[in-house]
């Protein structure tokens, strides 16, 4: 039996952990936290693994407290700035920036090898 100082587990690995009998969980699973934050679970897990958002690890299990969720929301809040500026064009070389290749004609020229009657091809 769990003591009051230890988190009680409900027997279901994907449910939030609650110490008291109230309906507010003490810790949320990544799926529950992502649902509350309205973000993808994969995004939340990536940020937590990189330690870019506050989180709690119980052994190898990732969990989020209500304070963690509040901190994620607070840290993500950005003032409205209007339209974002357009990205500057990159300085890569494009086909239109390259010099044009010499124009070749399908017609025989005067300086062609066949113009003197001598051809390297014997036919």
For residue 23, being part of any structural domain is answered with no
Q: Answer for the pair 18, 8: CB distance below 8 angstroms, yes or no.
A: yes
Total structural domains within the chain? 1
For residue 16, being part of any structural domain is answered with no
Distances (CA, A) of 19 to 8, 10, 12, 27, 108: 6, 10, 15, 9, 92
For residue 111, being part of any structural domain is answered with no
For residue 46, being part of any structural domain is answered with yes
Range with lowest mean pLDDT among 14-28, 68-82, 87-101, 104-118? 104-118
Task: At 109, give phi and psi (nearest 5°).
Answer: -100, 165
Q: Is the per-residue pLDDT at 33 higher than 90?
A: yes
For residue 92, being part of any structural domain is answered with no
For residue 72, being part of any structural domain is answered with yes
Q: Which domain holds residue 52?
A: 30-76
For residue 19, being part of any structural domain is answered with no
């Amino acid at each position: 039996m769990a003591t009051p100082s230890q988190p009680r587990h409900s027997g279901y690995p994907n449910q939030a952990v609650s110490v008291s009998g109230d309906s507010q969980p003490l810790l949320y699973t990544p799926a529950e936290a992502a649902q509350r934050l309205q973000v993808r679970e994969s995004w939340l897990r990536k940020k937590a693994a990189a330690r870019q958002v506050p989180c709690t690890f119980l052994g190898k299990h990732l969990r989020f407290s209500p304070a963690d969720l509040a901190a994620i929301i607070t840290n993500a809040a950005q003032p409205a700035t209007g339209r974002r500026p357009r990205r500057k064009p990159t300085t890569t070389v494009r086909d239109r920036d390259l010099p044009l290749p010499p124009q070749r004609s399908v017609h025989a020229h005067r300086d062609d090898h066949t113009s003197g009657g001598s051809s390297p091809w014997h036919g």
